[in-house]
A and B are shown apart, each in its own frame.
Chain A
Amino acid sequence: EAGVTQFPSHSVIEKGQTVTLRCDPISGHDNLYWYRRVMGKEIKFLLHFVKESKQDESGMPNNRFLAERTGGTYSTLKVQPAELEDSGVYFCASSQFEGGYGGYTFGSGTRLTVV
């Protein structure tokens, strides 16, 4: 079974530019989550999709972040315009069941550096 795939693995962009991160969940997993870890801090929740619907986007830091999951398959997270404080590792995770039963599977992350 293929795991959660994220692309790109690394991205270095200048402040003010736009970056789009992509996540392909495990096939059949309706639940898709975005998390991020900024330097020196804990991993923090950004948002949760159930199929194509945003179930919870309470962790999105501001309106420069836009997440989509068209068709309920892969998801994109766009940052526009990027700021220095957006640097960090962005993880995507998927799960078959809500509530975490059976565990979440994380992708290897996208390391974003804004300079």
Chain B
Amino acid sequence: RKEVEQDPGPFNVPEGATVAFNCTYSNSASQSFFWYRQDCRKEPKLLMSVYSSGNEDGRFTAQLNRASQYISLLIRDSKLSDSATYLCVVNQAAGNKLTFGGGTRVLVKP
């Protein structure tokens, strides 16, 4: 079983619609959680950190469910520019290394 699992997609989303997807992690001792965005052939860029209480940044909302060991990302009012691969990233309990999921591809279409 992978340490961090994501639905690879693609999620085909009409412009203006809402899309949500999850990520599960296997290590219950994981301490911090992030969503990164990666455009084709570019580096990952931090989208948002994910806190236990859930957090929102504009059109993006992230949730953490420690009991079920998953995090989620919701994008409201999708824009064409939201098309990207969204990487679920977990900081395991030991040390500072990040563990990446394989990414969820989102395609926003007019």
- Chain A residues within 8 Å of B, Cβ to Cβ: 31, 33, 35, 41-45, 48, 55-56, 58-59, 91, 95, 98-101, 103-109
Which of B44, B95, B97, B103 is the one whose CB lies under 8 Å from A106? B44
Q: How many residues of B contact A (CB 8 A)?
A: 22
Main secondary structure of the interface of B (DSSP, over half): strand
| B100 CB-CB contact with A under 8 Å | yes
- 6 example contacts (A-B, Cβ-Cβ < 8 A) are as follows A42-B100, A43-B87, A59-B97, A100-B98, A106-B44, A109-B43
A95 to B2, CA, bound (A): 26
Which of B43, B91, B95, B101 is the one whose CB lies under 8 Å from A107? B43
Which of B31, B32, B42, B100 is the one whose CB lies under 8 Å from A44? B100
A109 to B98, CA, bound (A): 16
Known: A100-B32, A106-B44, A109-B43. A56 touches B100 (CB 8 A): no
A109 to B42, CA, bound (A): 8
Which residues of chain B are near A109, meaning CB under 8 Å? 43
Q: Do residues A99 and B32 form an inter-chain contact, with CB atoms below 8 A?
A: yes
| B99 CB-CB contact with A under 8 Å | yes
Q: Do residues B43 and A108 form an inter-chain contact, with CB atoms below 8 A?
A: yes
Proximity string of chain B (40-53) to chain A, C-beta cutoff 8 Å, 1 when within and 0 when not: 00111110010000
Interface pairs A-B: 10 shortest CB-CB: A103-B46, A45-B97, A106-B43, A43-B100, A100-B91, A42-B100, A56-B95, A108-B43, A42-B102, A98-B96
Known: A99-B32, A106-B44, A106-B45. A42 touches B101 (CB 8 A): yes
Q: Do residues B49 and A103 form an inter-chain contact, with CB atoms below 8 A?
A: yes
Closest to B46 in A: A103
Closest to A105 in B: B46
| B86 CB-CB contact with A under 8 Å | no
Would you list which residues of chain B between 44 and 66 have a CB under 8 Å from chain A? Answer: 44-46, 49
Q: Do residues A31 and B49 form an inter-chain contact, with CB atoms below 8 A?
A: no
Q: Which of A48, A55, A103, A107 has the most CB of B within 10 A?
A: A103
Which residues of chain B are near A105, meaning CB under 8 Å? 46
